[in-house]
């Protein structure tokens, strides 16, 4: 199976700042690939290069079989792109926005009518098609922006933090639509900082300081980067316990998760030592992606370092 995206040492420099640093990766057809990393890690810059919006400073890539440096216009014809800013026209109705985007993609009148109805149904907004976009909630705007981006049935969809600022319910509905798209053969690349969304991706590319640190399925990332046994603790003033716990010989790491502490010990038998030290009953848990995120972020490369 040929990858739909293949990059080799893709780099983008702004002045003295390297936003994306020699990233090499492959993305397979029909998968949801999540770009995960802290703010300013280079996720959006990487997506904009792959969309043909930004030109790479160096390196090479192919997208849907087209060379990123020489066939940008062919790439743009076959992809959809949605940013967190929702490129919608507030003074137009839901239907008029869809009709406008259908026109941009040169859909025929017959195609346009049936495709708009299909998009309205997919987004669950058929009953609001005459309503001005300005009157919609953020969640409805988000779903409308998505179907505007896919009305041409692109082979690949780029989503740049599309769920920022919407409710958890709207985010789940949004990802249900994305999964339906991939079931129909589309490939989706999405940047996110929500761990529940990352869990629903087929693979995750963890990016930090412009570099690709790890890329694998959520389950493989957990098993690969979390060695030992994870326990959860509920303690008064949990922040005050972190430094005390980290120096214990049976503790590998300790971090805050909401009001709770996640403590990584060497092995299952060390949980009893953890209980004796804190006088609190720990609960053994399965590590989640947030634990992986924290582990990788702590071991992130220095800014400007290479991928050697």
Candidate from 3-7, 202-206, 279-283, 297-301 with smallest mean pLDDT: 297-301
Q: Looking at the chain, how many residues does it have?
A: 308
pLDDT of 43: 93
Give the tokens for residue 281.
Answer: 């009953």
Contacts of 238 (CB under 8 A, 6+ apart): 256, 259, 260, 261
- Rounded CA-CA distance 213/223 in Å is 16
Indicate the average pLDDT of the chain.
90
pLDDT of 301: 53
pLDDT average, residue stretch 128-151: 91
pLDDT average, residue stretch 23-33: 96
Is the pLDDT score of 84 beyond 80?
no
Give the tokens for residue 269.
Answer: 């038998």
pLDDT of 162: 82
pLDDT average, residue stretch 71-100: 90
Is the pLDDT score of 307 beyond 80?
no
Give the tokens for residue 259.
Answer: 């009001």
Q: Is residue 160 classed exposed, middle or buried when 0-12, 13-18 and 19+ CB atoms within 10 A define those classes?
A: buried
- Rounded CA-CA distance 171/163 in Å is 6
**What is the helix, strand, coil percentage profile of the chain, to 5?**
40, 30, 35
pLDDT of 306: 39
35-70 residue pLDDT tens: 998 888 899 999 999 999 999 999 999 999 999 999
Is the pLDDT score of 224 beyond 50?
yes
pLDDT average, residue stretch 304-308: 39
Torsion of Cα atoms, 132 then 138 then 143 then 146, to 10°: 90
């Amino acid at each position: 199976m040929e990858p739909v995206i293949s990059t080799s040492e893709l780099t983008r420099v702004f002045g003295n700042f390297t936003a994306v640093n020699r990233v090499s990766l492959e993305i397979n057809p029909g998968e949801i690939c999540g770009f995960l990393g802290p703010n300013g890690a280079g996720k959006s810059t990487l997506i904009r290069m792959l969309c043909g919006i930004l030109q790479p400073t160096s390196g090479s890539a192919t997208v849907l079989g087209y060379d990123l440096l020489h066939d940008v216009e062919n790439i743009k014809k076959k992809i959809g792109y949605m940013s967190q800013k929702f490129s919608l026209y507030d003074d137009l109705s839901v239907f008029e926005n869809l009709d406008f985007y259908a026109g941009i993609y040169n859909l025929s009148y017959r195609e346009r009518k049936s495709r708009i109805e299909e998009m309205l149904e997919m987004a669950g907004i058929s009953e609001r098609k005459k309503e001005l976009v300005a009157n919609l909630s953020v969640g409805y705007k988000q779903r409308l922006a998505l179907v505007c981006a896919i009305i041409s049935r692109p082979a690949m969809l780029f989503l740049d933090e599309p769920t920022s600022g919407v409710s958890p319910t709207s985010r789940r509905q949004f990802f249900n639509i994305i999964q339906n798209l991939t079931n129909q053969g589309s490939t989706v690349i999405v940047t996110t900082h929500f761990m529940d969304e990352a869990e629903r991706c087929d693979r995750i590319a963890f990016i930090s300081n412009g570099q690709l640190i790890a890329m694998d399925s959520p389950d493989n990332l957990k098993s690969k980067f979390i060695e030992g046994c994870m326990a959860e603790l509920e303690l008064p003033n949990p922040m005050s316990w972190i430094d005390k716990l980290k120096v214990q010989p049976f503790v590998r790491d300790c971090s805050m998760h909401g009001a709770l502490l996640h403590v990584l010990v060497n092995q299952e038998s060390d949980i009893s030592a953890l209980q004796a030290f804190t006088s609190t009953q720990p609960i053994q848990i399965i590590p989640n992606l947030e634990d992986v995120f924290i582990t990788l972020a702590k071991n992130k490369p220095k800014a400007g370092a290479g991928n050697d």
